């Protein structure tokens, strides 16, 4: 069976991606930073679908821990066929009030963490001349957002990284793509005040928030042979928010 690793898979988009890939026949490595209970729940759901699952804790902002995550999953399940870069945090606030710690934490986890994880995984994929990498970016990486200079910068950086890696990896048959979700109903967006929720919906042509399953469906597609001629692409899963961006 093919093997996938999903970072930040204890809940939300990451958990949905893990289940979508299991439904497509992948054994799945579940990466998490803090929520061990959530990660185990995701793993059990994968097992209930008849696939193997392994759980491994890692702070991907630490290069050694990120590499250890890849090694642990490959040791337990076998070489990676797919890698989903989903680990991320927010530290929102106006730029003039944003301290270096809040800036650095988001860049370190969301952008550097993705790079630290992709590098050891990519090395094996290039050697085997096969693999699919999908980075979870964001609509704010395309358009920016008030109070999210750090998050927007990290997500925009992921898109640049994806396009560069896609060029580097293509000659050896490895595909690298991104998904840019809009506002998805997760714990991360649950605290948005009602007035801002209404504003978001006004700027979402489809008139609703997305779900983790909406994003997971795009990820599953990008990891499938149906997307075999796609690399360096950014799929917007945002209800139309990025139209014209």
Q: Which helix (H) or strand (E) is 135 found in, with range? A: strand 131-136
d(CA 75, CA 205): 45
- Which phi-psi region, left, alpha or beta, contains residue 101 (left: φ > 0; alpha: ψ -120 to 50)? alpha
**One-character DSSP codes across 196-223:** HHHHHHHT-TT-S-B-HHHHHHHHHHHT
Q: How far apart are CA 19 and CA 22, in angstroms?
A: 5
| Residue among 73, 76, 109 nearest 90 (CA) | 109
Q: How many helices (H) and strands (E) does the chain have?
A: 9, 7
- Is 116 a residue of the active site? no
Backbone angles phi, psi at 37, to 5 degrees: -65, -45
From the candidates 103, 116, 151, 183, give the one annotated as an active-site residue: 151
Catalytically active residues are: 151
């Amino acid at each position: 069976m093919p093997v996938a690793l999903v970072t930040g898979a204890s809940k939300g988009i990451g958990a949905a991606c893990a289940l979508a890939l299991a439904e497509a026949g992948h054994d799945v490595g579940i990466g998490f930073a803090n929520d061990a209970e959530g990660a185990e729940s995701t793993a059990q759901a994968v097992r209930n679908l008849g696939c193997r699952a392994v759980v491994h804790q890692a702070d991907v902002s630490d290069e050694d821990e990120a590499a250890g995550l890849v090694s642990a999953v490959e040791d337990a399940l076998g070489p990676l066929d797919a890698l989903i870069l989903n680990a991320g945090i927010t530290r929102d606030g106006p730029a003039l009030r944003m301290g270096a710690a809040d800036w650095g934490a988001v860049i370190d986890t969301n952008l550097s963490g993705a790079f630290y994880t992709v590098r050891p995984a990519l090395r094996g994929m290039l050697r085997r001349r096969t693999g699919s990498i999908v980075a979870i970016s964001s609509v704010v990486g395309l358009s920016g957002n008030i109070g999210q200079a750090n998050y927007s910068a990290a997500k925009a950086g992921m898109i640049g990284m994806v396009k560069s890696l896609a060029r580097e990896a293509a000659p050896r048959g490895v595909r690298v793509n991104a998904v840019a979700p809009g506002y998805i109903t997760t714990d991360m967006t649950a605290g948005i005040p009602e007035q801002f929720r209404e504003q978001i919906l006004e700027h979402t042509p489809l008139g609703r928030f997305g779900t983790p399953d909406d994003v997971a469906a795009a990820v599953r597609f990008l990891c499938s042979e149906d997307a075999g001629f796609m690399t360096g692409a950014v799929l917007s899963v945002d209800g139309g928010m990025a139209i014209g961006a």
